[in-house]
Copies of this chain bind each other. A is one copy, B any other.
Amino acid sequence: MPKVGMEPVRRQQLIDATIASVGELGLQGTTINSISKKAGLSSGIISHYFGGKQGLIEATVRHLLSSLKQSLLAQVDESTLPEQRLMYIIEANFALVQQRADTTRTWLSFWAQSMHDAELHRLQNVNSKRLTSNLAFSFKQLLPKEHATQAAQLSAAMIDGLWLRAVLSQSNKDQFNHSEQLAKQYVKSLIQQYGA
């Protein structure tokens, strides 16, 4: 038989190829062929490992969400100070971009599609609420409780808004870093303004 234990390798290859294809061609322009060609594999393999195109799309979103979660967990532990933890949260949300240029476009495509796909919408909600609650957890250690929740909401919106504008204007790495700095400044100003 062929080399055994290829499944995890192929799955990762196909997920990477999906990110690349959606980043380059959009979700509209991404086909079974565009993905399998980028992966250097045949088109049939997608149905074999993911049941079909839709299964691969969803697996790719889960992979991106998991990457985002891990990149925060890698930086933070129980001893991390609240303000430092807030900075790490912002860094994690801008980090995926710096690693790969096509990831941001892919992310945005999935967001838009989540309006018309129940499973994608579910995954998007998990991610959105995780950002807010991660922020709220640290703000509560710095601000009076009545301000902490709203600070988390506003910070989440500011992060998403800065991120979105950077993606849409097809910013380079420097402009992305600038947006990251603005987000950090904003969180610091909230702490100064309402800090206990």
Query: A residues touching B (Cβ–Cβ < 8 Å)?
Result: 24-29, 105, 108-109, 111-117, 121, 124-125, 128, 150, 153-154, 156-162, 164-165, 167-170, 179, 182, 186, 189, 193
Contacts and interface: CB of A to CB of B under 8 A. Distances in A.
Report the copy number of this chain in the oligomer.
2
* Main DSSP-derived SS at the A contact region: helix
A155 to B, nearest CB: 9
Given A157-B162, A164-B161, A26 B128 contact: no
A94 B117 CA distance: 24
23 contacts: A24-B116, A26-B112, A28-B28, A29-B116, A108-B111, A108-B115, A112-B113, A114-B168, A115-B168, A125-B169, A128-B168, A153-B182, A154-B158, A156-B161, A156-B165, A157-B161, A157-B164, A157-B165, A158-B158, A160-B161, A161-B161, A189-B193, A193-B193
